[in-house]
Structure 1
Amino acid sequence: MPTANRPLSPHLQVYKPQLTSVLSISHRAAGIALSVGSLYLVWQLLAAASGPDAYAVFQGFAGSWLGILVLFGWSISLFYHLANGIRHLFWDAGYGFTLDATYKSGRWVLIATAVLTIVAWIAGLSSWGGK
């Protein structure tokens, strides 16, 4: 019997990422980013406990463009993971399983992430600039 010349996984050629799948993968990535980003906080605490010279090194990095970028990415991950985690709590309670509801809640997760990140950075920068 001759074998047919067809792809083994035909769905791979027609699959398009959907909002729900992208949010699911992003939720896992945000959790990893939060874990890795927590090392930034540990570094700050260890530097503060080690004395002024060690803390000055930390402040030098934290004030650099790379340090600010790391903190900004960590804050996005924090608020995304929080908002999407609340969404998952509603799912655990049995709410929001219709296709329309999953897309709506996904959009709200993205909106909440953006708003919370912007508000936190505005509040942080305004308090930082006032000293």
Structure 2
Amino acid sequence: MSTDNRPLSPHLQVYRLPFTALTSISHRISGVLLSGGALVLVYWVVATAAGPQAYATANAILGSLPVQVLLFAWTFVLFYHLCNGIRHLFWDAGYGLSLEAAQRSGQTVIGAAVALTLLAWLIALV
């Protein structure tokens, strides 16, 4: 049995994932990234409890520009995961399961995450 003339099945380099699949994958990735950010939060809390010298060192590290950019991204990831989790709760209740509603809710999740991130950082900087 020769298989030389059989077509190849599509793979990720040629297949365009639907928007809902991308948001689902992003939700899983954001959960993993939140774990890493939680470790940074634990470091800060432990440094706070360890005394003024450790706290000053932690603030110097966490206050640097590259780390601040990462913390901004982590804040977006936090709000994205939160909003997408709420979206999944609505799906579990049977609401918004049509393709059009899923598209709109995915776009709403991204918009809400951006807005909440900016709002949180504006409040934190004031």
Q: What TM bracket, shorter-length normalisation?
A: over 0.9
Who is 1:113 aligned against? 113
Alpha-carbon distance in 2 for matches of 1:49, 1:58 = 11
* TM value normalised by structure 2: 0.92
Question: 1:14 offset after TM fit, Å?
Answer: 4.6
For 1:69, the equivalent position in structure 2 comes to 69
1:71-95 per-residue CA deviation (whole Å, 9 max, x = no partner) reads 1121011100000000000000011
Matched AA of 1:70 = L
Q: TM-score scaled by structure 1?
A: 0.89
Q: Which residue of 1 aligns with 2:24?
A: 24
Which residue number corresponds to residue 34 of structure 1?
A: 34
- What residue number does 1:49 align with? 49
Q: Percent same amino acid at aligned positions? A: 51
Measured in 2, the distance between the counterparts of 1:39 and 1:57 equals: 16
| Long gaps (5+) in structure 2 | none
Count of residues in correspondence between the two structures: 125
2:41 counterpart letter in structure 1: L
AA aligned to 2:94 is G
**Distance in 1 (alpha carbons) for counterparts of 2:2 and 2:42:** 62
